[in-house]
Amino acid sequence: MRFYLFLTLLFFCFCVVTPIESQNRGFSVELIHPDSSRSPFYNIRETQLQRISNVVTHSIKRAHYLNHVFSLSHNDLPKPTIIPYAGSYYVMSYSIGTPPFQLYGVVDTGSDGIWFQCKPCKPCLNQTSPIFNPSKSSTYKNIRCSSPICKRGEKTRCSSNRKRKCEYEITYLDRSGSQGDISKDTLTLNSNDGSPISFPKIVIGCGHKNSLTTEGLASGIIGFGRGNFSIVSQLGSSIGGKFSYCLASLFSKANISSKLYFGDMAVVSGHGVVSTPLIQSFYVGNYFTNLEAFSVGDHIIKLKDSSLIPDNEGNAVIDSGSTITQLPNDVYSQLETAVISMVKLKRVKDPTQQLSLCYKTTLKKYEVPIITAHFRGADVKLNAFNTFIQMNHEVMCFAFNSSAFPWVVYGNIAQQNFLVGYDTLKNIISFKPTNCTKL
């Protein structure tokens, strides 16, 4: 079964699930950057420079992948949007089953569906945390071929054995993927206030054949995308279509974590909030916005409308899975010229040889201009920590780069220390400058 069928099934299942009683005030969970020392996947042997180099490389791969997805025919059904690679993704801890079994899922705002590795598996992901065994969960239920859910998909694959189970197969661009059973089980989130919150009968993919070409060691993916099948959609009325996150400094050795909010707690309001429409595009998976211009001092760099989308709307993807922000060539070169004209520091080469604009300085000392990202109706002021990465003790590089693509990937460095709120019912995304370490 192709991915979209998996999605179709998830949607269908979602419809028949009894709505969960509303979690009135909402709740929050911890979000862990895999390169933070708090992450279960932290590789102590890697240097800071290797980590940065990895996430920059990953950002480029991801942009290529997104381009592949977007450039498919507009009428095409949604395709998987990620090459999972935990190296620059945020992960969250959650539990599946009864009793709850703890897993670490890659949080991806660019995909739908929830899947993870299950026992038995062959081949398996290199998952260091224990693997979920569905036979140990009293609430785990396979979906059968005879169920209306499975019959609904025309090309639904039915297991070849006597069990007649409904199966899924997700194939990513690099031919890696996951195959397994479509099932339902209870999903439990550990809220930051200490109380677990359970959502019964969540449709999940329990993967028995998993071959992701990844160095990441997470157990699978949690899609936060726009489709009907993401965790956002499946939690449904209990979170009112709202989630938000606050990403604390990346690569921080300090014991700090980022946060993910659901429901009413995800409402971004108060002083300094700006909001811009989320654009409904042909491609449901991702969060598109209109980015109209950048400004740096007196320089204004306008972005052309993207030719990607028929009515020229939605030229920027807000992506938690990319680290650097990638701009169309002409936009990047104008922005770079403007920044160069305003920064009086010695230019040096990127020690990882990936980024174009680097200076010899330290994070504490450097002075760089504020760059404002002008989304439609929302001016977002980017500080130095949103626009530059400290590569090592003496070099910092511009965390923006040119890409061959006609659209913008708005990466997670640019989103650091903003409370970023998604309201999928009102179709807006809001940004509020916030010291995420203090939340």
Ligand X SMILES: *[C@@H]1O[C@H](CO)[C@@H](O)[C@H](O)[C@H]1NC(C)=O
The single residue among 109, 228, 275, 386 that binds ligand X, judged by CB under 6 A, is 228
Q: Rule CB under 6 A: which of 242-271 touch ligand X?
A: 255
Query: Which residue, 135 or 353, is less far from ligand X as judged by CB?
Result: 353
How many H-runs (helices) and E-runs (strands) does the chain carry? 7, 28
Q: Rule CB under 6 A: which of 297-356 touch ligand X?
A: 354-356
CA distance 181 to 47: 39
- Cis status, amide bond into 84, omega within 30 of 0: no
Beta strands in 109-171 (DSSP E): 114-117, 141-142, 157-158, 166-171
Compose the 355-394 pattern: x for residues touching ligand X by CB under 6 A, - for all others.
xx--------------------------------------
> Helix, strand, or coil here: 187?
strand
Burial class (CB in 10 A: 0-12, 13-18, 19+), 82: buried
Query: Which residue, 212 or 260, is less far from ligand X as judged by CB?
Result: 212
Contact 108, 82 (CB under 8 A): yes
Query: Which residue, 198 or 356, is less far from ligand X as judged by CB?
Result: 356
Query: Which residue, 153 or 227, is less far from ligand X as judged by CB?
Result: 227
Compose the 35-74 pattern: x for residues touching ligand X by CB under 6 A, - for all others.
---------------------x---x--------------
Q: How many CA atoms lie within 13 A of 95 on its CB side?
A: 16
Tokens of 313: 């709307």
The single residue among 36, 39, 191, 214 that binds ligand X, judged by CB under 6 A, is 214
CB of 377 to ligand X, least distance (A): 25
- Cis status, amide bond into 99, omega within 30 of 0: yes
Cα Rg of the chain, angstroms: 21
The single residue among 156, 276, 401, 412 that binds ligand X, judged by CB under 6 A, is 401
Bridging pattern class, strands 299-302 and 291-296? antiparallel
Q: Is 284 in the site for ligand X (CB under 6 A)?
A: yes
Q: Is 75 in the site for ligand X (CB under 6 A)?
A: no
Q: From the candidates 35, 108, 185, 423, which is the catalytic residue?
A: 108
What sign results for the dihedral spanned by CA atoms 117, 412, 281, 273?
positive
CA distance 431 to 423: 12
Query: Which residue, 164 or 282, is less far from ligand X as judged by CB?
Result: 282
CB of 210 to ligand X, least distance (A): 7
Part of the chain binding ligand X (CB under 6 A), chosen from 186-194, 212-220, 292-300, 424-432:
212-220
319 given a catalytic annotation: yes
Query: Which residue, 186 or 228, is less far from ligand X as judged by CB?
Result: 228
Cβ neighbours of residue 243 closer than 8 Å, sequence gap 6 or more? 224, 232, 260, 261, 262, 266, 421, 422
Q: From the candidates 35, 181, 319, 423, which is the catalytic residue?
A: 319
CB of 291 to ligand X, least distance (A): 18
Count CB neighbours of 55 within 10 A. Answer: 26
Contact 257, 356 (CB under 8 A): no
Query: Which residue, 186 or 259, is less far from ligand X as judged by CB?
Result: 259
Edge-to-edge order in the sheet of strand 27-31: 27-31, 258-262, 242-246, 418-423, 428-433, 274-277
Q: Rule CB under 6 A: which of 170-209 touch ligand X?
A: none
CB of 387 to ligand X, least distance (A): 13
Query: Which residue, 402 or 427, is less far from ligand X as judged by CB?
Result: 402
The single residue among 128, 337, 392, 435 that binds ligand X, judged by CB under 6 A, is 435
Q: Is 142 in the site for ligand X (CB under 6 A)?
A: no
Burial class (CB in 10 A: 0-12, 13-18, 19+), 348: middle
Residues marked active site are found at 108, 319
Q: Which residues make up the interface to ligand X (CB under 6 A)?
A: 11, 56, 60, 125-126, 211-214, 227-228, 255, 284, 354-356, 401-402, 417, 435, 437-438
